[in-house]
Amino acid sequence: MTTLRFACFALGATLTACGSSGDPTTSSTTSSTDASSSSSGVGGGASTSTSTSSSGTGGDGGAGGGSAAACTPTAGSKAIDAYCDQIKIAVLEHDGKKAGVAIRGRLSTTAGACLRVDTVDVVRADASVIQSFTVSGVALKSDDDAPWVTGDAAPELAQPCSSDTPRAEAFSVIVKGATDGGTFTGTCGSISGGSSWPPRVLLTCHENLDEPPRSGNAFIQSSIMGSTLTQMSITFPESAKITAVDPAVRILPAVWMGAPISPFDTAGWMSSTSTANGLDNVYLSQSADPLGTELCPVQPTMPDPMMKPPPIFLARIKGQAAGAAFSSEVFMSFCTRMAM
């Protein structure tokens, strides 16, 4: 039996945070895994949003977030570099309303350190600022994957959602705040130099949902008798009220190096939904292999550190939620292929 799990790669930077909750390197899956332990998508602090690409304020702001166990950084004068990854910029569009954005990610300094997020800037490849957020009420521990801020989205943030423009590091993020012994700055994405895989910053686009999905993973099992089962397991906050999912799913792949894989459509998915532990669970399955070995390849049990990392992908699903049509791009944090 051969099992694939996404590996965590970092080049040009020291990867200090691989292996904590939410990291693909520690994930595994079986058929219809219920990821009910995912952390909350929106916390309770306040934020305001301003955009440097247009005049005036960026909107009414929204909520910050952080770990359940709040902390207070100790005083100090050190300037500390924070490592950041697993950043999701989720654009939330609604019929007849201004688009919103929810940003979350993981910050790492020293083990057990307290971090208070004060500002989040979404920037272009040249580090010029698209939109700035002032954050309050977000206190977390080093290595926590947590929500940072929500607010209205600057038009430039939402623009890629009108097409299949690549989502991997479409933008970069600069996070600043206080940590034990001083202040920290986290420079996240392509502007940080070097490269990493999976990408440190990922854009996702959603329609008629108040919060993005919490988790997603894919599983493919084939047997020597020729049968195949492909499943995708997705969790949303219960407030999404997902009632139906269409049988067609568009796949948006990204590769670290080599020839790109173009977006493609898949069909024939059977779906089921359930609600448990404050989550809406969506299961998609079919007796075929629409993802293919290029997107979800078989990997050796002990991969060579120099091997090319596997692709990642978003699954764009559509259906009905709270009585309205919805669309959501779900990051599949790992893809497991099992041959028996």
The 10s digit of each residue's pLDDT in 257-301 is 888 999 999 999 999 999 999 999 999 999 999 999 999 988 777
For residues 33-48, average pLDDT: 36
Q: How far, CA to CA in Å, does 278 sit from each of 40, 62, 86, 255?
A: 10, 21, 23, 34
Query: pLDDT tens digits for 99-108?
Result: 999 999 999 9
- DSSP letter at 168 equals B
Q: Check if the beta carbon of residue 11 is closer than 8 Å to that of residue 256.
A: no
Could you read off the pLDDT of 154-209 as tens digits, one per residue?
999 999 999 999 999 999 999 999 999 999 999 999 998 766 888 999 999 999 99
In this prediction, residue 307 carries a pLDDT of 78
Tokens of 125: 């490849």
Report whether pLDDT(112) > 70: yes
Residue 98 Cα distances to 93, 158, 287, angstroms: 7, 10, 40
Q: What pLDDT shows up at residue 24?
A: 33
Which tops the pLDDT comparison, 251 or 12? 251
Burial-class residue 145 by CB neighbours within 10 Å (0-12, 13-18, 19+): buried
Report CA Rg, the chain. 19
Backbone angles phi, psi at 20, to 5 degrees: -85, 175
- Which pLDDT score is estimated for 306? 76
**Per-residue pLDDT at 308 exceeds 50:** yes
β-strand pairing of 201-207 with 78-93:
parallel
Q: What is the mean pLDDT of residues 212-217?
A: 96
Strand order in the sheet with 270-276: 270-276, 279-286, 228-237, 215-222, 335-339
Q: Cα–Cα–Cα angle for 162, 172, 99, nearest 5°?
A: 35
Per-residue pLDDT of 321-337, as tens digits, reads 998 999 999 999 989 99
Could you say which DSSP state residue 270 is in?
E
d(CA 108, CA 86): 11
| Mean pLDDT value across residues 64-88 | 83
Number of H helices, E strands in the chain: 2, 23
What does the pLDDT read at residue 291?
Answer: 96
Q: What is the pLDDT of residue 257?
A: 82
Give the up-direction half-sphere exposure of residue 180: CA atoms within 13 A in the CB hemisphere: 11
52 or 79: which carries more pLDDT confidence? 79
Single pTM value for the model: 0.80
Q: Distance between CA atoms of 53 and 243, rounded to whole angstroms?
A: 38
> Shortest CA distance to 139 belongs to which of 214, 203, 59, 45?
45
